[in-house]
Structures are given as structure tokens and as C-alpha cells.
Chain A
Amino acid sequence: MSQEPLAATHLPLSRWGISRRQLEGRIRRRRWADRIIRGLMVASVVVVLIPLFSLLIYVGRSGIQGLDLAFFTQLPKPVGMPGGGMANAIVGSLILVGLAAAIGVPVGVMAGVFLARSTSRLADGVRFVAQVLNGVPSIVVGLAVYGLMVVPMQTYSAWAGGVALALIMIPLVTLNTEEMVRLVPRDLNEAALALGVPAWLATLRVVVRTALPGILTGIMLALARVAGETAPLLFTALNNAFWHQGLSNPIASLPVTIYNYAISPYPEWHQKAWTGALVLVAMVLITNVLARFFGRSRYDRR
């Protein structure tokens, strides 16, 4: 960007019909507009980050007050009784996310490899459907699983909650896996084929193997995402004030418990909600950061 005004004397100003002064004014105005708008862009970054910091600070400060060992080891106590924890909800969340991973990861990864290795019209269709599924509100998935599992089984269950979370996970994992597999240079595959390795083995042992860090990152991000989901659990896993009683019974989860405590009228429960939120946010953010730092594919251009 030029720092000095244009050398206006060399310009055919009379032919443009403006004076040197007008021209300089115009340049100054443009330069000011530039500064102001660039300032606004910096400001927008600040405005966007304020809620993030506010949220993290509040969750940290309010949450830490109720953070003790009992929170991780004890069942919730009724209102009015001091102490108690959310151990059942933490365990429940881990079980639900584990179920979701057990169902969602194989399906998502295999479907992703399919998308990356196939050029058929079926693959185009599957990709489109996965992208659409990605945009389906999670509460709608919850309703569908209610119809699919809760109605026939006549009970809310951990199974239903796990399936609901898996259905949310699958499009995320599928699309990410495809992307990561596609990032692997074609040469690697061709080199393997040239050595006489069958195509399927080359795909699995060379291409997928190379893309594995990126695939794992995607899986971890998807797990972090479903670990925080509340809406699809409301009428699938429901909630439970006790330790889990098998996968065919309702099960507590951290997000649903936070929700119930937050909308309750009792200040002690609000405190518990903040502490629960701290634990949940810590779990989600740590997973996110780990996924980013350890799992980036060598061929990821970003």
C-alpha cells in the first residue's frame, strides 16, 4: 500500500474532470474507510470471543466451588441434603458414549472408506445423504429413536440413548473419514498395487493406515460432540437417580442431569449444575485439544 498520496501532478486530472484537491480527498476518504472497516473486523473477533471467555470463566469459577471427590463418587442427594455428587451421571455418560462409539465408529469409518474409494452413483447418493443427516436436528433424531426403540421395548433405555448418539455420530465420522482417506496421495496406493498387493489390502494396510491419525481425530471430535448432546437423550435414555441398572433401563447422563438441575428452582442444584458443566466442558475441551494436537494427518493441508 502506498504511504504517500499519488503524484497527482503526473495524472491527466483535467481529462478526469476533478481537481488535485478532490482527488486527494477521495484517496483520503478511501483510506479512512479502509481503516475503519478493518478496525470493525478486529472488533468482530473481539466481540465473538467475549462470550467464549465469559462462559469459560463463569463455568470455571462457579463450577470449581462444588468440585470435590464426592462429586465423582457419590449419587445425587435429594434437595436440602448437603453433599452428594453426579457419579452416576458421569458413568452413565461414559456408557452412552461408549455404546455410541461401538455402533457409530465401525459404520462411520467403513462408510467413509466406501465414499473415498468408490466413484459409483451410489457413493454420490450416500455422500449427499450423510451431509443431509449431518444437518438433521439432534432432537429429531431423538424422536425417531423413540419410535424405533422406546415404543417397541416399552421402556426408555441406555440402548436407545446409545443408538441415538450413534446416529448423530455416523455422518460426522463418515464425512471426515472420506476426507482424510482422500488426502492420502495416490502414489502410495499405486506403489502398493505395483508391488502386487491386492487392492483391498492396499486400501486397508496402506491408504487407511496412512489416513488413520486423521480418522482418529474425526472420531474423537465426534465423540466430544455427542458427549455433550442433551436433546436426543431426553426421551431415549431419559434419566436415573441411581447407578445404572443394565442397558435395558433408563440411565443418567451428565448433560441431562445438568439440564434438570439448571431449570430447577433450587440454588444448591444450580451449584451442582455449574460443577457438572465444568466437568462436561473439561471433558469435551480436553478431547478436542488432544484430537487436534495428536491426530492431524501428515497430508492435511490446513
Chain B
Amino acid sequence: MNQPLHHPTRVVNRGDRLFRGILRLFGLVVLAIALLILVELWEVARPSVERFGLRFLIETQWDPVREQFGALPFVYGTLVSSLIAILLAVPLGLGVAFFLSEMAPRWLREPVSFLVELLAAIPSVVYGLWGLFVLVPIIRSLELAILRTGLSRVPLFSGAPYGIGMLSAGVVLAIMIVPTVAAVSREVFRAVPDSQREAALALGATRWEAMKVVFDYGRPGIVGAVVLAWGRALGETMAVNMVIGNQPIISASLFSPAHTMASVIASEFNEAVEPMHVAALAEIGLALLGLTLLLSALARLLVLRVERRSRGRQAAQGVTSP
């Protein structure tokens, strides 16, 4: 009260300034975390990066005993298994999203979307357990059935039907990323203005034809959803590790055991005694990080584009909420 009149707000400002400073500090902590992850990973990987460089990613021999470290089988396994997952999960996820946003009666929406979100809540290691003891036997009999039809001359379906392998990994991954595809595309569809649907229906379009309009309008967002889900599939570790067979093989066959970047880190890191082995695994981690960063930047860009177009924030929320 005794403050001079020309500084009436100074007392208030001091608290505000302090508070703002504290908040800013915590914002900086988030930046520091990102930096720390990058620096630490680089530190662990450095011996390998310095010795092998980028050549590391295209060498095919992985033999820790002879200190031969080529990561191509893992890169291949990661890309192929996640591609299988995307091919399976995108149509299914889009179907679910369309059902929820355009077809389902109101009372059905909440329970169905809750169940689909439950899929995302189940821990990876439980998917692995289920995959190993339930899904793999099913896949094995599927593979046997395919072999009996004589399709085994096709390279894609050649080899012994172990059950464990690329196909199982792809299917488990697909189940795990469907909720991402469904949730994000549902938000994208929701961001499409009703006028688009109504205009199509008014012109005599069937429901499906109106959906195609909605789809067209939200296309960049859908691509964003796919890329985001793909990023998830690339980094998924435990479930894949438990069903893919963990062998650094590059094979055209879907039935063949394989290995991925994430799963080789999980299975070999603790047993790695040679410093170079540890570093090589960390370099795989570094490459994996690079890959996912690339994808998530791309996804963010695409989702942002559709969001800006519809001036809604919904699409981004679908991406960011846990």
C-alpha cells in the first residue's frame, strides 16, 4: 500500500516473474532431456560409429565373436515387419475409425472406442506372451496350410513353417498399432466439417460415397496417422523379440525367422561383453532413433496441415494424448 503510485503493479509482478521463471525452467528441462538422450546414446555408440561409420548399416555379417558388425539384417527385419504391420493395420484401423465416426449409433461409440483403446493399454510383454503361446501356433498352422496348397515355390512363402518368424511379428505389431491408426484417423475424420458430408449426401451420394469425400478431405491427416503408427511399429521391442525368432537372416520368405533393430538390442545388450559389441548395439539404437525421428517429424507435419485447414485442434489431440 505504501508503494509509490507510478509503480502500482510491481509487487504483483515479482510473484508473476518468479512463477514464469519456474515454469520456463521446467520447459527447459524437457529440452534438456531430449539433448541428454541424444548425447548419452552418442557416447555409448561412439566407438562403433567411429570405426564403422555409415557402412555399418549396409554390411550383412553380424558376428560379435569375430567383431563383425553389420546391421543390415536388423534394418531389413525392422522395415519388413513394420511394413507387414502397416499393410494389415491401416485398412482395419481406417475401418474402425470410419465405423466410429460415420456409422455407429451414439450408444455404441463409447464402448467400442474404449475397447479399441484397451488394445493400446496392454503391455508389450503381454502381447509377446500371448503371441508366443497363442498366435504363433495359429500362424504355424496357417503356414502349413499355405505350404500344402503348393504355394511354397513362391519365395514369399518358402521355408519351414516354424510359426515363429517375420509373419508372426508383423501380425502382433499390426494388432498393437491398430489403436493408433484408428484413434488418429478418427480425430482427423472428426475435424472434417459436417458441411462436406452433408453436401455429398444432398447430391444423392450413398453413405459410402460421402465417406470417400470425408476421406479425401482428411487425406494428409490419414497419411500422418499411418506414418505415426509406422513409427510405433519400428520401435516396438518386446512383443517382436518374443515371436520373431531372433536370427539375423535376410530372407524373402515371410515364414523365416528374423531380427529387428529394437529386438537385437533387447536380446544381446546384457550379454555383450566386448566394448565394441555394446557400441555396435548402441549404434543400432542411434539409427533406430534417427529413423523414428524422421517419421515422427513427417507425421507431425502432415497432421498439422489438415489441422490448419480445419482450424480445429482435435487432430493434434488424438496424436498427443496418452
Where the two chains meet, the residues of A that have a C-beta atom closer than 8 Å to any C-beta of B are: 1, 30-31, 33-34, 37-38, 40-45, 47-49, 51-52, 54-55, 58-59, 62, 106-107, 110-111, 113-115, 117-118, 122-123, 125-126, 128-141, 143-148, 151, 167, 170-172, 174-176, 179, 198-201, 203-204, 218, 221-222, 224-225, 227-231, 234-235, 238, 255, 258-259, 262-263, 270, 273-274, 277, 280-281, 284-285, 288, 292
Instruction: Known contacts A139-B285, A280-B126; decide if A31 and B206 are in contact (CB<8 Å).
Output: yes
Residue of B nearest to A239 (CB): B270
- A284-B265 in contact (CB<8A): no
User: Which residues from B are CB-within-8-Å of A285?
Assistant: 118, 121-122
Inter-chain CA distance A262–B123, complex, in Å, is: 14
B132 close to chain A: CB less than 8 A: yes
- B30-A170 in contact (CB<8A): yes
Contact of A139 among B121, B237, B242 (CB under 8 A): B237
Q: Give, as a whole number of angstroms, the nearest-CB distance from A31 to chain B.
A: 6
Interface residues on B, range: 35 or more
Of listed B34, B43, B132, B299, residue having the most chain A CB within 10 A:
B34
- A171-B123 in contact (CB<8A): no
- A238-B125 in contact (CB<8A): no
- A147-B99 in contact (CB<8A): no
Where the two chains meet, the residues of B that have a C-beta atom closer than 8 Å to any C-beta of A are: 12, 15-16, 18-20, 22-24, 26-31, 33-34, 36-38, 40-41, 43-44, 91-96, 98-99, 103, 112, 114-116, 118-119, 121-130, 132-135, 175, 178, 182, 206-209, 211, 228, 231-232, 234-238, 242, 262, 265-266, 269-270, 281-282, 285, 288-289, 292-293, 295-297, 299-300, 317, 319-322
- B319-A131 in contact (CB<8A): yes
Instruction: Known contacts A179-B321, A280-B126; decide if A200 and B118 are in contact (CB<8 Å).
Output: no
- B121-A225 in contact (CB<8A): yes
Instruction: Known contacts A44-B96, A59-B130, A167-B37; decide if A225 and B206 are in contact (CB<8 Å).
Output: no
- B18-A140 in contact (CB<8A): no
- Ordered by A's residue number, 7 sampled pairs between the chains whose C-beta atoms are within 8 Å are A44-B96, A45-B112, A45-B116, A52-B119, A62-B133, A144-B40, A144-B41
Interface of A is mostly: helix
User: Which residues from B are CB-within-8-Å of A255?
Assistant: 123, 125, 238
Contact of B92 among A31, A48, A146, A274 (CB under 8 A): A48
Inter-chain CA distance A234–B28, complex, in Å, is: 28
Contact of B128 among A1, A31, A262 (CB under 8 A): A262
- A292-B24 in contact (CB<8A): no
Q: Give, as a whole number of angstroms, the nearest-CB distance from B193 to chain A.
A: 16
Inter-chain CA distance A41–B93, complex, in Å, is: 10
User: Which residues from B are CB-within-8-Å of A274?
Assistant: 129
Q: Give, as a whole number of angstroms, the nearest-CB distance from A10 to chain B.
A: 14
Contact of A41 among B31, B99, B319 (CB under 8 A): B99
> How many A-B contacts are there with CB distance less than 8 Å?
286
User: Which residues from A are CB-within-8-Å of B91?
Assistant: 44
- A135-B122 in contact (CB<8A): no
Inter-chain CA distance A148–B44, complex, in Å, is: 9
- A41-B103 in contact (CB<8A): yes
Residue of B nearest to A145 (CB): B40
Residue of A nearest to B112 (CB): A45
- B288-A284 in contact (CB<8A): no
- A55-B127 in contact (CB<8A): yes
Q: Give, as a whole number of angstroms, the nearest-CB distance from A59 to chain B.
A: 7
Inter-chain CA distance A145–B121, complex, in Å, is: 24
Q: Give, as a whole number of angstroms, the nearest-CB distance from A122 to chain B.
A: 6
- B285-A218 in contact (CB<8A): no
Inter-chain CA distance A204–B40, complex, in Å, is: 35
